[in-house]
Amino acid sequence: MNIFKNVVPLKDNFVTDDLPTTCASYILQGFKGPDKSSVAHLLEDSSILVVAKTNMDEFGMGSHSLNSAYGQVENGAGRQAQSAGGSSGGSAMVVADTMASIAIGSDTGGSVRLPAAYTGVFGFKPSYGRISRNGLVPYANSLDTVGIFARTVDEISAVYKILDKHDPADPTCLTKETRLRIELAALRRGLAPGEEAVQGLHIRVVATGDTANEHTDSIKTMEGKHKRLDKAQYDQPRPIRVGVPDEYNIEEIHPLVRKAWTQYLSALAENGHEIVPISLPTTQQALAAYYILAPAEASSNLAKYDGVRYGIPRHQELPDNHNGPLYSRHRGEFFGDEVKRRILLGTFTLSAGAMDNYFIQAQKVRRLVQHDFNSVFRLGHPLMDGSQNKPHGVDFIVVPTAPTVPPLISEVKSQSPLDSYINDVFTVPASLAGLPALSVPIVPDDDMPHTPEKNVGMQIIGQFGDDRKVLQFAKANR
């Protein structure tokens, strides 16, 4: 057995007990957590050794892995180095450079999918709550997910299987009952609401939990039914319907990305799948909503870094001419510029005068984005009452991961922060809705030889909880 196969690097925002966890920030230099993250525990229980931490944008804030206290991540060398994407650029590069078969990252608004697209590997963001966030330093809790990089779908699926578990240490990690409920909803895919072959099951699940015994009994019943149903109906209805949203077809798409998109859709059509035009009207507002919600949550999360707790005390390093309380001196000195920008943004949008016009509006947009997705998927949202299956809805949505191929680092550095934010335009909608999305590397046919500056990724987005089907679909259509 090749022992190097069974090792995994973690993005440096996952707590490990033996290696420091810095989130690529000076403020956490020297910080070692009291225990490992649940992800590290689960991997090690499966004999996969956590061997290193990877570079990233400070606290996950960025799209190019350039905002790091430890230097930038480069995709290629020298003046021609491209962006590796961000914020999990380090994890993407170790897989792209074949230093490891798999690597773990985190995806809040695209931080696994964008680097995967820019470096030419697979990057999977599961549904929100499928993998425990216990021990993942939070950026924006309501959006943070654990993601996986690999060069094959099989490896992603294998690691996903290990990590896709309930964890009582993370209150937002889906419970066993919820997981079953999701499975059962998927079994009814393709059935119109009136022809539910498994009537009562949904109600049963909702009604469980009065006493511990009843609870267990009910789960057993469901598991029994599930097994029987599995044989009868688990197959995806044919043909699979692939949605292509009009709103993603924007002018700014790079010609190579457009070519790869067309090529991938044609290949899917040749494989017998139906390509269906759809509309997700709130897509245009999703980016703005994300850049209000994520910094708002971040500003609250980062308040705990006060110069007293976490990391090595560094008061002696503060410049003499710096006046004011330790708290602000420390934060002023040891947070990077992008992090400070997000804190200011977040505290502003949460302030009494701005709350209604920014934060509340952004929450409403988030709801509309979720509603848009629910209105097109064949599968109803398994956790939303009243969301029903639509026999003529789509099974997956296929869109580019990013509007462009990886930009040169030198170009990125001359851009404004806003230009970087725009890069996330295709990844944030699935994050706001908590949906599973896999970035698949595409090599356009007639662009050989393929070189990293031509890397393009396509996202396969599925309904909430339909993670395994997304992976199966990607594998079946290579």
Q: Would you please indicate which residues are annotated as catalytic (active-site) residues? A: 11, 87, 111
In the complex, minimum distance from the CB of residue 346 to ligand GLN, in angstroms, rounded to a whole number: 11
Q: Least CB distance from residue 223 to ligand GLN, whole Å? A: 35
Spatial separation of the C-alpha atoms in residues 239 and 477, rounded to whole Å? 13
**Which of 144, 149, 124, 121 lies closest to 134 in space, CA to CA?**
144
The distance of closest approach from Cβ of residue 411 to ligand GLN in the complex, given in angstroms and rounded to an integer, is 17
Least Cβ distance, residue 289 to ligand GLN (angstroms):
12
Among 424, 459, 462, 473, binds ligand GLN (CB under 6 A): 424
Report which residue's Cβ sits closest to ligand GLN.
111
Instruction: Tell whether residue 12 is a contact of ligand GLN (CB under 6 A).
Output: no
Applying the rule CB under 6 A, the residues between 291 and 310 that interact with ligand GLN are: 294
| Residue 139 DSSP SS3 | coil
Residue nearer to ligand GLN on the CB measure, 108 or 387: 108
Closer to ligand GLN by CB, 109 or 429: give it: 109
In contact, 276 and 376? CB cutoff 8 Å: no
Write down the residue that tokens 């956490």 correspond to.
Answer: 28
Measured from the CB atom, the residue of 172 and 451 that comes closer to ligand GLN is: 172
**Segment 126-185, which members bind ligand GLN (CB under 6 A)?**
139
CA gap 459, 289 in Å, rounded? 21
By CB under 6 A, the count of residues binding ligand GLN is 13
Q: Other CB atoms closer than 10 Å to residue 59's CB: what's the count?
A: 29
Angle CA(170)–CA(92)–CA(400) in degrees, nearest 5? 90
Helix (H, G, I), strand (E, B) or coil at 146: strand
Pair of tokens at residue 285 = 């507002």
Tell me if residue 131 falls in helix, strand or coil: coil
Question: What is the nearest approach in angstroms of ligand GLN to the Cβ of residue 215?
Answer: 36
Site for ligand GLN in 55-74 (CB under 6 A): 60-63
Interface with ligand GLN by CB under 6 A: which range of 54-62, 210-218, 358-366, 436-444?
54-62
Where on the phi/psi map is residue 60: left (φ > 0), alpha (ψ -120 to 50), or beta?
left
Contact (CB, 8 A) for 60 and 14: no
Rounded to the nearest whole angstrom, what is the least distance from the CB of residue 111 to ligand GLN in the complex? Answer: 3
> Closest CB to ligand GLN among 89 and 444?
89
Q: Which is nearer to ligand GLN, 342 or 378 (CB)?
A: 342
Contacts (CB under 6 A) with ligand GLN, residues 97-126: 107-111
Which of residues 125 and 378 has its CB atom nearest to ligand GLN in the complex? 125
Q: Which of residues 218-277 bind ligand GLN (CB under 6 A)?
A: none
Give 222-228 contacts, CB < 8 A, sequence gap 24+. Answer: 222/180, 222/184, 223/180, 225/184, 225/198, 225/201, 226/180, 226/183, 226/184, 226/187
DSSP notation for 311-348: S---GGGS-TT--S-HHHHHHHHHS-HHHHHHHHHHHH
Residues engaged in binding ligand GLN (CB under 6 A): 60-63, 87, 107-111, 139, 294, 424
